[in-house]
Homo-oligomer: A and B are copies of this chain.
């Protein structure tokens, strides 16, 4: 987390700009890692921070908390949030960096929601409290060739059985913004104050409009994050999209098994369904459907498709 400066500085700004919200409050840090968010909260004036993590990183966190003089402000607890003995019945604020690739892959959001339901006071705050998933289409012909058609001739052998396997695995990569050929569409927004674990499985429609004449080979998805604030100037947001600075989350690319030949202004409707895999609920099964009809009166271009992906 530390070396992703977009991520860490966003948390720091969200906490420090809103330090009046942290003043004298009880804070719970879910999945604290090295304790950086807990120390931001302590520095912002929190009365006490409870920091929980399952990993042995917490031993290192304890050393760091100690040498930075927060031993009496931050209590580190090793274990599952569901199991640790909390020194408070309720907390004022939950902080957590829980986001995974495609927002939800291997994410800790389930645990944050458990923490919310069990420990957050009515009216308490969650940092961050809003997350949305956005999509667009990209032109990615040369890369698709490299990734997919590579397998047709591997040192003179036919490796094409790999192609369906590769196609079903969304890529986590950095997309150049110039490859985006449609507008951005907000597929779904989660309000962490109210969302339930069941709602993290979703099936949502999208409608995209081509911003130029070009081919489209893939759908790209990313997420945006918002933190709570009481005054507009203290609002902190960050995006993991192709139009902004790199984050370690990069973007998630779903190759279509068709090439769409788009003219500027034409629309592509479709839907994306995502649900936890039934055998491993940190993995995701994703189904993408699309329906593209060319707009010209005598234009017969129409392409519909459907493809299943697995984030493993």
Using a CB–CB distance below 8 Å, which chain A residues touch chain B?
Answer: 2, 8-9, 12, 34, 36, 39-40, 43, 60, 63-64, 67-68, 154-162, 165
Contact = CB atoms under 8 A, between A and B. Distances in A.
Contacts of A40: 155
Contacts of A64: 157-159, 161-162
Given A36-B154, A64-B161, A64-B162, 12 more contacts: A2-B154, A2-B159, A8-B155, A12-B155, A34-B159, A34-B162, A36-B155, A39-B157, A43-B156, A64-B158, A64-B159, A68-B158
B67 A158 contact: yes
Contact of A161 (B43, B67, B158, B165): B67
A64 B68 CA distance: 57
Contacts of A162: 34, 60, 64
Nearest to A159: B64
A159 B160 CA distance: 48
A157 B69 CA distance: 10
Top-4 shortest CB links A-B: A63-B161, A68-B157, A67-B158, A68-B158
Q: What is the total number of copies of this protein in its complex?
A: 2
Which of A8, A43, A157 has the largest count of B CB atoms less than 10 A from its CB? Answer: A157
Nearest to A40: B155
A268 B224 CA distance: 53
Nearest to A165: B60
A249 to B, nearest CB: 19
15 contacts: A2-B154, A2-B155, A2-B159, A12-B155, A34-B159, A40-B155, A43-B156, A60-B162, A63-B161, A64-B157, A64-B159, A67-B158, A67-B160, A67-B161, A68-B157
Contacts of A39: 157
Contact of A36 (B12, B36, B43, B157): B157
Nearest to A34: B159
A60 B39 CA distance: 49
A39 B161 CA distance: 15
A60 B161 contact: yes
Nearest to A66: B161
A8 B156 CA distance: 12
Nearest to A160: B67
A159 B8 CA distance: 15
Contacts of A154: 2, 36
A115 to B, nearest CB: 24
Nearest to A61: B161
A68 B160 CA distance: 10
A158 B154 CA distance: 50
A234 to B, nearest CB: 19
A9 B67 CA distance: 52
A161 to B, nearest CB: 4
Which of A63, A154, A162 has the largest count of B CB atoms less than 10 A from its CB? Answer: A154
